[in-house]
């Protein structure tokens, strides 16, 4: 079987884990797998199209294939999941030769139900997914985890603790950790890990400021430097987000502002974009007040 892959969001960016697993599984079956090109691929038996973001333009070219399978949050598809056999297949990293790290999920799902997040609808209840040693690449000491709320899982915490004891493994949880769950004992475990580049948390509402501040205090008490802690800041109401950003800045941590996009991929407002640009361009953020930037 000839299999074609289309990373609708663009395969020059962050690797598409689902396509990597599909590629590895098909190659184990003896199938040939390639990035699909309307100009060069010719006829193939099956094409997989994966779209993560709703705001990404769809693939608009003719596909010469017997079967085309589309899936992903970008298609507002919250039900399609990989079969277990494929889900637990080690990814095909040859698809993304510039990717220097391993990618995977220790856990799936989340205990929260944030109104701006599709995870509860797409992944459901929090549950174990994979042990860290099955995710790590033999040619890299860096793992990027995609978990949505790993600290709420006893299994996830155990995996992080094992990583901290293994030594030499650099980790990143790029979806951000739940600051409300970081107590003193968890802070000590996290402080022992090697973070590349940061330990990430989120502060998306005014109510989250105090838990984030408490978490930062616990982490620094356990030995982490504030500059190794990073917080996402969702931008919906601009004035409220500005106050949140300034509160985070007082904590001495890194901040990244994310303008809100709805499930339909609607564009952020001009002011949301301006606030995010002001916050994320550190040379400006450190020298110009928001009031003056406006």
Could you report the per-residue pLDDT of 49-107, keeping only the tens digit for each?
Answer: 999 988 889 999 999 999 999 999 999 888 889 999 999 999 999 999 999 999 999 99
Q: Which of 181-190, 200-209, 264-273 has the lowest mean pLDDT?
A: 264-273
How would you class 54 by CB atoms within 10 Å of its CB: exposed for 0-12, middle for 13-18, buried for 19 or more?
Answer: middle
Domain assignment present for residue 170? The answer is no
Structural domain including 53 reads: 1-90
Domain assignment present for residue 34? The answer is yes
Domain assignment present for residue 50? The answer is yes
Give the residue from 157, 225, 154 showing the smallest Cα distance to 195. 225
- Residue 190 sits at the vertex; the CA angle it makes with 127 and 204, to the nearest 5 degrees, is 70
- The one-character DSSP state at 174 is T
pLDDT at 271 over 90: yes
Instruction: Tell me what the mean pLDDT of segment 213-236 comes to.
Output: 97
Domain assignment present for residue 13? The answer is yes
Cα separation, 126 vs 129, whole angstroms: 9
Cα separation, 226 vs 255, whole angstroms: 11
Beta-ladder partners of 13:
none
Domain assignment present for residue 44? The answer is yes
Contact by Cβ (8 Å): 159, 194: no
How would you class 197 by CB atoms within 10 Å of its CB: exposed for 0-12, middle for 13-18, buried for 19 or more?
Answer: exposed
Domain assignment present for residue 75? The answer is yes
Residue 114 has what pLDDT? Answer: 78
Q: Which residues contact 65 (CB under 8 A, 6 or more apart)?
A: 4, 36, 43, 44, 45, 46, 47
Residue 212 C-beta-side C-alpha neighbours within 13 Å: 30
Domain assignment present for residue 144? The answer is no
For 170-191, how does the pLDDT look when each residue is reduced to its tens digit (9 = 90+)?
999 999 899 999 999 999 999 9
The number of folded domains in the chain is 1
What does the radius of gyration of the chain's CA atoms come to, in whole angstroms? 20
* Region label for 176, one of left (φ > 0), alpha (ψ between -120 and 50) or beta (otherwise): left
Domain assignment present for residue 241? The answer is no
Give the residue from 149, 237, 243, 270 showing the smallest Cα distance to 200. 149
Cα separation, 175 vs 104, whole angstroms: 12
What is the pTM (predicted TM-score) of this model? 0.92
Which three-class secondary structure state does DSSP give residue 193?
A: coil
């Amino acid at each position: 079987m000839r299999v074609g892959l289309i990373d609708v969001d663009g395969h020059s960016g962050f690797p598409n884990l689902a396509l990597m697993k599909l590629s590895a599984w098909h190659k184990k079956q003896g199938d040939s797998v390639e990035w699909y090109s309307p100009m060069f691929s010719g006829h193939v038996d099956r094409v997989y199209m994966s779209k993560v973001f709703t705001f990404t333009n769809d693939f608009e070219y003719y596909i010469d294939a017997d079967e085309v399978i589309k899936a992903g949050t970008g298609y507002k598809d919250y039900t399609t999941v990989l079969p277990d056999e494929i889900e637990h297949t080690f990814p095909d990293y040859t698809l993304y030769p510039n990717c220097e790290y391993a990618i995977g999920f220790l856990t799936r799902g989340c205990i929260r139900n944030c109104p701006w997040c599709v995870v509860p609808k797409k992944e459901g209840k929090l549950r174990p997914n994979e042990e860290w040693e099955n995710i790590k690449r033999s040619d890299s000491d860096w793992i990027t985890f995609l978990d949505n709320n790993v600290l709420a899982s006893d299994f996830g915490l155990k995996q992080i603790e094992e990583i901290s004891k293994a030594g030499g493994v650099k980790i990143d949880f790029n979806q951000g950790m739940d600051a409300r769950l970081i107590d003193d004992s968890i802070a000590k475990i996290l402080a022992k890990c090697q973070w590349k580049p940061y330990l990430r948390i989120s502060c998306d509402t005014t109510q989250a400021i105090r838990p984030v501040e408490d978490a930062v205090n616990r982490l620094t008490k356990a030995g982490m430097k504030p500059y190794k802690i990073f917080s996402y800041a969702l931008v919906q109401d601009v004035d409220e987000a500005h106050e949140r950003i300034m509160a985070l800045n007082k904590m001495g941590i890194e901040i990244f502002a994310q303008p809100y996009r709805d499930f339909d991929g609607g564009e952020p407002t001009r002011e949301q974009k301006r606030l995010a640009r002001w916050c994320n361009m550190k040379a400006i953020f450190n020298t110009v007040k928001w009031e003056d930037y406006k």
